[in-house]
Amino acid sequence: MVNTETKTAISIKGLEKVYPDGFRALHPTHLDIRSGEIFALLGPNGAGKTTLINAVCGIVNVTAGDIEVYGNNITTQYRKARSCIGLVPQELTTDAFETVWNTVSFSRGLFGKPANAGFIETTLKRLSLWDKKDQQIRMLSGGMKRRVMIAKALSHEPQILFLDEPTAGVDVELRKSMWDQVHELRSMGVTIILTTHYIEEAEEMADRVGVINKGELMLVEDKKTLMKKLGKKELVFDLHQPLTDEHEELTAMKVHSAADGLQLIYTYDTLKENNGVADVLDCLNRLHIRYRDLSTRQTSLEEIFVSLVNKK
């Protein structure tokens, strides 16, 4: 299914978007999406995620810049570029009175692909929609409708799948099963770009993460590197008795108290070889500070994200 000749699935150079009313939704943006990766675009409401996706899909006219999809220019080679892409838009739009089977089959035809009942069947089964194939869309639940949109987007066997907020309004269980399905698609070689507000989702799924805010792509990073680089760990001591005195030694080690003196918290860099944990333990011993419990906590992508957005 996938074109392995080129390692870049999508190349975006100097993309800018100013809407007709003068609103600048995207500042000059450069981004390469690698073939076969899951890329999560993370950002608050109005950040420009949908604008970016729609620009690549040719739904939004770009103000400036060049976009290529597997080497095909999105403007001058539109049909070729677009045929590589499946899009599940943020707003679900389907013919409510059409059946699941017809909707998905029809969509394949729109891309000029010959009918292939076997492929449609496999796709519907993979998305757990097989038993609903003869139902009208209006009779499905919200989560099922979203899966129909995914089936529709996959109907012409695209190498790239855009999921614009795939799990908005989807319950936890279904969200998890959606994540599994996305992983499965990736294992088949499909490149996936998804947008989400849920940091947990990016953390769970993405190979790389892009953070966008106010039309500016602030950061693109390998997820693991990002979490390592910016991730801190906290060691939390729950004390037997509140600590009333200030201990210079603790202050010097950057151990601070919280919860009205009932907790001591030591924040350390997970990358450093000597993280200081042993010294802190020694120090507490020396000072005869007794604790009844201790725990560690890793900064989540969420905290990293919030601190990034606030910094700007």
- Tell me the closest approach of the beta carbon of residue 53 to ligand ATP, in angstroms: 8
| The one among 73, 90, 116, 275 contacting ligand ATP by CB under 6 A | 90
- Tell me the closest approach of the beta carbon of residue 194 to Mg ion, in angstroms: 11
Handedness of CA 95, 159, 57, 79 (dihedral sign): negative
| The one among 6, 14, 23, 176 contacting ligand ATP by CB under 6 A | 23
| Distance from C-alpha of 126 to C-alpha of 132, rounded to nearest angstrom | 13
Does 59 interact with ligand ATP (rule: CB under 6 A)? Answer: no
| The one among 4, 45, 93, 187 contacting ligand ATP by CB under 6 A | 45
Binders of ligand ATP in range 165-194 (CB under 6 A): none
- Tell me the closest approach of the beta carbon of residue 37 to ligand ATP, in angstroms: 20
Binding segment toward ligand ATP, per CB under 6 A, in 38-46, 124-132, 198-206, 220-228: 38-46
| The one among 6, 14, 19, 115 contacting ligand ATP by CB under 6 A | 19
- Tell me the closest approach of the beta carbon of residue 59 to ligand ATP, in angstroms: 11
User: Contact letters (x/-) for Mg ion, 49-88, by CB under 5 A?
Assistant: xx--------------------------------------
Residue 29, beta-bridge partner list: 15
DSSP the chain: ----S-SEEEEEEEEEEE-TTS-EEEEEEEEEEETT-EEEEE--TTSSHHHHHHHHTTSS--SEEEEEETTEETTTTHHHHHHTEEEE-SS----TTSBHHHHHHHHHHHTTPPP-HHHHHHHHHHTT-GGGTTSBGGGS-HHHHHHHHHHHHHTT--SEEEEESTTTT--HHHHHHHHHHHHHHHHTT-EEEEEES-HHHHHHH-SEEEEEETTEEEEEEEHHHHHHHH-EEEEEEEESS---S--HHHHHTTEEEETTTTEEEEEEETT-SS-SHHHHHHHHHHTT--EEEEEEEEPPHHHHHHHHHHH-
User: Contact letters (x/-) for Mg ion, 36-55, by CB under 5 A?
Assistant: -------------xx-----
Does 21 interact with ligand ATP (rule: CB under 6 A)? Answer: yes
- Tell me the closest approach of the beta carbon of residue 229 to ligand ATP, in angstroms: 24
| The one among 10, 36, 39, 48 contacting ligand ATP by CB under 6 A | 48
152 interface partner picked from ligand ATP, Mg ion, none, CB below 5 to 8 A per type:
none
45 interface partner picked from Mg ion, ligand ATP, none, CB below 5 to 8 A per type:
ligand ATP
Q: Which spans of this chain sit near ligand ATP (rule: CB under 6 A)?
A: 19, 21, 23, 25, 43, 45-51, 90
